Structure 1
Amino acid sequence: MEHHFAQRIGRVRPSAIRQLLQLGDDPSITSFGGGYPDPTLFPLDQLRSVYDHVLREQGRTALQYTATAGIPELRERIADRMGRDGVDCSAEDVLVLQGAQQGLDLVAKLLINSGDVIITENPTFLGALVAFAPYEPDYAPVTMDKDGMDTDSLEWVLANTPGAKFIYVIPDFQNPTGVTLSLERRHRLLELADQHDIIVLEDTPYRELRFEGEQLPTLKSLDTEGRVIHLGSFSKTLAPGVRMGYAVASPTILTKLELLKLAADTQSSTLNMTATARFLTEFDLDAHLEAVRPVYRAKRDAMLSTMAETFPADVKYTRPQGGLFTWVTFPEDFDSARFMAEYSLPQARVAYVPGGTFFPMTQAAHYARFSYASVQQEEMVAGVRRLGHLLTGSGDARRSSLSSTLP
Structure 2
Amino acid sequence: MSPDTERGPISLLTPEARSALDRSGYGSWRAIATADAVSLAFGFPYPESLPTARLQESTGAVLDDEGERALQYGGGAYADRLQTWVAKRETDRGIDLTDRDVLLTNGATHAIDSVCRAFLDPGDVVAVEAPTFMGSIRVFENFGVDVVGLPVDDRGLDVDAFADRLERARAAGDPTPTLVYTIPNFQNPTGTTLPEGRRVRLLELADEYDFVVLEDDAYGDLRYEGEPERPLCALDESGRVVRVGSFAKTIAPGVRLGWVVAPDPIRDAVDALAAGGTNTFTRSVVGHYCDAGHFEDAMPELRTAYADRRDAILAALATHMPDEATWTEPDGGFFVWLELGDDVDTDALLEEAIDAGVTFLPGSMFYPNDGGENALRLSFSYAEPDEIDVGIGALAAAIDAHRRG
Deviations 1:57-98 (A, max 9, x none): 21311111118xx94321111110001111111697111000
Residue 19 (1) aligns with residue 17 (2): no
State the alpha-carbon separation in 1 of the partners of residues 12 and 69 from structure 2: 41
Residue 215 (1) aligns with residue 228 (2): yes
Deviations 1:103-129 (A, max 9, x none): 111112221111110011111110101
State the alpha-carbon separation in 1 of the partners of residues 45 and 393 from structure 2: 22
State the alpha-carbon separation in 1 of the partners of residues 80 and 26 from structure 2: 35
Residue 141 (1) aligns with residue 149 (2): yes
How is 1:4-403 mapped onto 2 (pairs within 5 angstroms)?
4-12=12-20, 15=24, 17-26=26-35, 28-66=36-74, 71-89=79-97, 93-159=101-167, 160=169, 161-261=174-274, 264-265=275-276, 267-341=277-351, 343-346=352-355, 348-392=356-400, 394-398=401-405
State the alpha-carbon separation in 2 of the partners of residues 60 and 165 from structure 1: 44
Please tell me the residue identity of whatever aligns with 1:258: D
State the alpha-carbon separation in 2 of the partners of residues 334 and 167 from structure 1: 31
List alignment gaps of at least 5 residues for structure 2: 1-8
Aligned Cα RMSD in Å? 1.8
Structure 2 residue aligned with 1:404: none
State the alpha-carbon separation in 2 of the partners of residues 333 and 14 from structure 1: 26
Task: Give the deviation of 1:21 after TM superposition.
Answer: 2.3
State the alpha-carbon separation in 1 of the partners of residues 99 and 39 from structure 2: 40
Task: Give the deviation of 1:18 after TM superposition.
Answer: 2.6
State the alpha-carbon separation in 1 of the partners of residues 247 and 395 from structure 2: 33
Write out the 4+ residue segments of structure 1 that deviate beyond 6 Å after TM superposition: none
State the alpha-carbon separation in 2 of the partners of residues 60 and 92 from structure 1: 32
Deviations 1:325-357 (A, max 9, x none): 00010112320011112x2122x1211100012
State the alpha-carbon separation in 2 of the partners of residues 42 and 91 from structure 1: 35
Deviations 1:291-324 (A, max 9, x none): 1001111101111111111110111111010000
List alignment gaps of at least 5 residues for structure 1: 399-407
Deviations 1:261-303 (A, max 9, x none): 1xx12x1111111111111111242231111001111101111
State the alpha-carbon separation in 2 of the partners of residues 59 and 227 from structure 1: 41
State the alpha-carbon separation in 2 of the partners of residues 172 and 235 from structure 1: 15
Structure 1 residue aligned with 2:3: none
Give the TM-score of the pair, scaled to structure 2.
0.92
SS state of the match for residue 324, structure 2? Answer: coil
Contact 2:99/2:264 (<8 A) preserved:
no
Give the TM-score of the pair, scaled to structure 1.
0.91
SS state of the match for residue 175, structure 1? Answer: coil
Q: Would the alpha carbon gap of residues 62 and 321 (structure 1) be closer, same or farther in structure 2, given more than 3 Å must change?
A: same
Contact 2:345/2:374 (<8 A) preserved:
yes
Q: Would the alpha carbon gap of residues 320 and 20 (structure 1) be closer, same or farther in structure 2, given more than 3 Å must change?
A: same
Contact 1:51/1:275 (<8 A) preserved:
yes
* Identity across the alignment (%): 32
Task: Give the deviation of 1:239 after TM superposition.
Answer: 1.0
